Structures are given as structure tokens and as C-alpha cells.
Chains A and B, each alone.
Chain A
Amino acid sequence: ETGVTQSPTHLIKTRGQQVTLRCSSQSGHNTVSWYQQALGQGPQFIFQYYREEENGRGNFPPRFSGLQFPNYSSELNVNALELDDSALYLCASSLGADLNTEAFFGQGTRLTVV
């Protein structure tokens, strides 16, 4: 139990639709990162938020966007869904974007695009 919760746990969407995934960080953590994990692959970094501002972005198109709220919960939004967006989406929270701290992962949201 990491204290990081994600919702929903599973989701099926149609190609072209939009989706919002949510993450509640561990208490006291001000940094959240989002990852996409395809089957049999390692997590791929999407972006990171530190104190409500984007603090780094991976190689994902602009249709992947995010928000971090004052309570440090976070959303990942994906527009114009494509079949290849089907994956496990993980969020990870940590204390401080530049400290030597571990990140705690949520259980993930399994997104299927049909």
C-alpha cells in the first residue's frame, strides 16, 4: 500500500474519444509523474508536475496533457485517442522534484482503446 490511488482502474474507450485519468498522491508529496506502460515494456515517462507546474516532459505528443491541483492530486488527459494509446497508465508521487527520493506508484489505470 503506497498511499497513491488512481481512478478508474480499468477503462475502455473508442478511437478518437478523450479520456481523463486521476491520481491522488501520497500525503505530503508535492511531485507527481505520469508514465505509460505498454505490455512487456518498462514505464515510459510522459510528464512530471511539481507544485502545480509542469517540470519535465517526455516524448509524447501535445494531445497528452496534465494538471496538478493545490492538494497535489493530478489528472492526465488524452485527446483524440489512438489504438496505440492502449496501455497501463501509472502515476507516481514523491517529495520534491530534485531530491534523492523514491517515487511511490499507484496501481495504475488500464486503458483499452478500441
Chain B
Amino acid sequence: GQNIDQPTEMTATEGAIVQINCTYQTSGFNGLFWYQQHAGEAPTFLSYNVLDGLEEKGRFSSFLSRSKGYSYLLLKELQMKDSASYLCAVRDSSGGSYIPTFGRGTSLIVHP
């Protein structure tokens, strides 16, 4: 099984930078995803990491360290619309299937 841990809630100011951490334990790591989910809506894909390092995509970046079981999502130039839940999901290939397991999500509140 997997154990995924991320903070429950974070707050930040518009225009600032925020880092959302995710730690995990898994026996057959096969990739880590970050999703954004606005209240009442479906999760939308933000990033995918399978190798160590930083992946940058516009205002969002995601980092992975497989040896530490650690990832973070970095959001720059925060906007009010970034207020949402951010879900970390780890895919495990043990057992022959490739199933992502989601953390509980981090609720980010961006205030003016």
C-alpha cells in the first residue's frame, strides 16, 4: 500500500509564491501527479514527475526526489483563481497494475 501525506490547508497572498509539499511511501513507485480541484469540480491535471528533478510549466513547477519520497508543487505569481484543493497522487506498479493513489489534498486559500 501507500501512505501519502500533504498539509491540509495553506494560505497565501495574491502575487506571492507558495510551495505545497507531499511525502509518500510506496513499494513500486511509478510516477507522481499533481492535480488541481476547484470546489464542486473535477480534478484537472497539473504535472507529472517520474524522474528526480524539477518540471516547470508556466507559473507551476513540480519537484520530485524519489530517494526521499518527496515532492512539492510550486505556484508563482499567485492569483485569486488559484484558490483550490491541490491533490498529490502516486502511481504504484507493484501487483502488475498502475493505479494512482491520491492524498487528501491541500486546500489553498489565496487572499488579496
Number of A-B contacts (CB under 8 A): 55
Closest to B33 in A: A102
Residues on B with C-beta less than 8 A from A104 are: 45
Given A48-B97, A55-B97, A42 contacting B104 (CB threshold 8 A): yes
Nearest CB of chain B from residue A100's CB, rounded to whole Å:
6
- B99 near A48 with CB under 8 A, answer yes
Residue in A97, A103, A104, A107 with the greatest tally of chain B CB atoms within 10 Å: A103
Cβ of B105: which chain A residues have Cβ within 8 Å of it? 41-42
Bound-state CA distance A103–B98 (Å) is 12
CB atoms of B98 and A108 under 8 A apart: no
Cβ-defined contact, B48 with A43, below 8 A: no
Per DSSP, chain B at the interface is strand
CA A108 to CA B44, docked complex, whole Å: 12
Q: Is the CB of B99 within 8 A of A56?
A: yes
Range, interface on chain B: 20 to 34
CA distance A6 to B6 in the complex (A): 29
Known: A100-B48, A102-B48. A45 touches B101 (CB 8 A): yes
A35 CA / B41 CA spacing, docked (Å): 14
CA distance A55 to B95 in the complex (A): 10
Query: CB within 8 Å of B: which of A17-68?
Result: 33, 35, 40-45, 48, 55-56, 58
B residues within 8 Å of A by Cβ? Answer: 4, 31, 33, 35, 41-45, 48, 50, 87, 89, 93, 95, 97-105
A–B pairs, 24, beta carbons within 8 Å: A2-B42, A2-B44, A4-B42, A33-B99, A40-B104, A41-B104, A41-B105, A43-B87, A43-B102, A48-B97, A56-B95, A56-B98, A56-B99, A90-B43, A97-B97, A98-B97, A100-B31, A100-B48, A100-B50, A102-B45, A102-B48, A105-B42, A105-B43, A105-B44
